[in-house]
Copies of this chain bind each other. A is one copy, B any other.
Amino acid sequence: MTQKTIVMNDKNLIAGIDIGGTGTKIGIVDFDGKIIAQALIDTREFSTMELFVSACIKKISSLSNLHRLAGIGIGAPNGNYYSGCVENAPNLPWRGKLELAGEFTKQSGLKAILTNDANAAALGEMMFGGAKGIGHFFYITLGTGVGSGIVADGKLIYGHDGMAGELGHTIAVKGGRMCGCGRKGCLEMYASVRGLVLTARELISQYPGQSALESKIDFSAKDISDAAKNGDAIALKTFDITAEILAISLANASAVTSPSHIFIFGGLAKSGELLMVPLKKYYEQSLLNVYQNKVCLSVSELPDSDAAILGAAALIRNYFM
């Protein structure tokens, strides 16, 4: 591998960290994208960000000799690539502006690069997954929220302020559902795991007595998926509505950068064809004719459990390539 020669001496490993509100995943990754060791720590255990970073580095040291590491890549909600900071991430236990990349470097002496989780995953897909060699693509994460990484001309677009790629907070339904960001109708409120459940609940209240889901006090996206597989009309309609809203947003964003591929990842991607079949149909219908039948929509090739770590590691690999 040519890139190995670029990294000095025997520094041919990378620490990839995926910081989540509850758990933080840490992995040691080689330059071919193989995770050779990994661990999990509880994000909520630490009263300050500095203590958390210290624990992460201790864990990294237990997994690999620090001298073998080319750097530390970090994916975190609201992570800003340019500043290396996380600002006011609602689901992290520490408030204010967190200088995470700087703190990792300070405590470890290693190069540390931060970005948001969806951007990191997009890089991971580009380096280690199905987007190898693809210059223009979207990476869409449909989980608790909706995240996105936008790649054009082979480079992740960070924008002027490091905050590009927030498709989840584009307005998909004018005057629609209230979003946590304070605005109405964000894509995230429709195309996330939570959005799917909300849509199913709305349909059930509109068409009572027509879905097996109604018998459950509470139901999850997986329950909707299972019901749809059994032919439940309400569950199928839920996927259809979700797919159409997501498709129009993706088609509109496609007219900005004209990607050749869109990779779907996260909880909703697990629904497979239930989502992807109507998504492809509505996506093509919503595209201008010059874009039609050119874009490949598919589920991400990254293994679910590894994607976040690989994505974070890709930040460092990208830096040295």
Q: Which residues of A contact B (CB under 8 A)?
A: 78, 135-136, 150, 152-153, 155, 157-167, 169-171, 174, 181-183, 186, 248-249, 251-253, 255-260, 285-286, 288-291, 294
Contacts and interface: CB of A to CB of B under 8 A. Distances in A.
Nearest to A87: B290
A286 B171 contact: yes
A264 to B, nearest CB: 17
A291 B150 CA distance: 17
Contacts of A160: 135-136, 258-260, 294
Contacts of A260: 160-161
Contacts of A256: 150, 157, 164-165, 167, 170, 253, 256-257
Interface residue SS majority, chain A = loop
Given A183-B288, A252-B252, A253-B256, A159 B152 contact: yes
A170 B291 contact: no
Given A161-B260, A165-B255, 16 more contacts: A152-B159, A153-B157, A159-B257, A160-B258, A161-B291, A161-B294, A163-B290, A163-B291, A166-B290, A167-B256, A174-B248, A183-B285, A249-B252, A252-B252, A252-B253, A253-B253
Copies in the complex: 2
A186 B255 CA distance: 11
Contacts of A259: 159-160
Contacts of A170: 251-252, 255-256
24 contacts: A78-B290, A153-B155, A157-B258, A158-B258, A160-B258, A160-B294, A161-B260, A161-B291, A161-B294, A163-B258, A163-B290, A163-B291, A164-B258, A165-B256, A166-B255, A166-B288, A167-B256, A170-B255, A171-B251, A182-B289, A249-B252, A252-B252, A252-B253, A253-B253
Contacts of A159: 136, 152, 257-259
B153 A248 contact: no
Nearest to A134: B160
Nearest to A182: B289
Contacts of A157: 152-153, 256-258
A249 B256 CA distance: 11
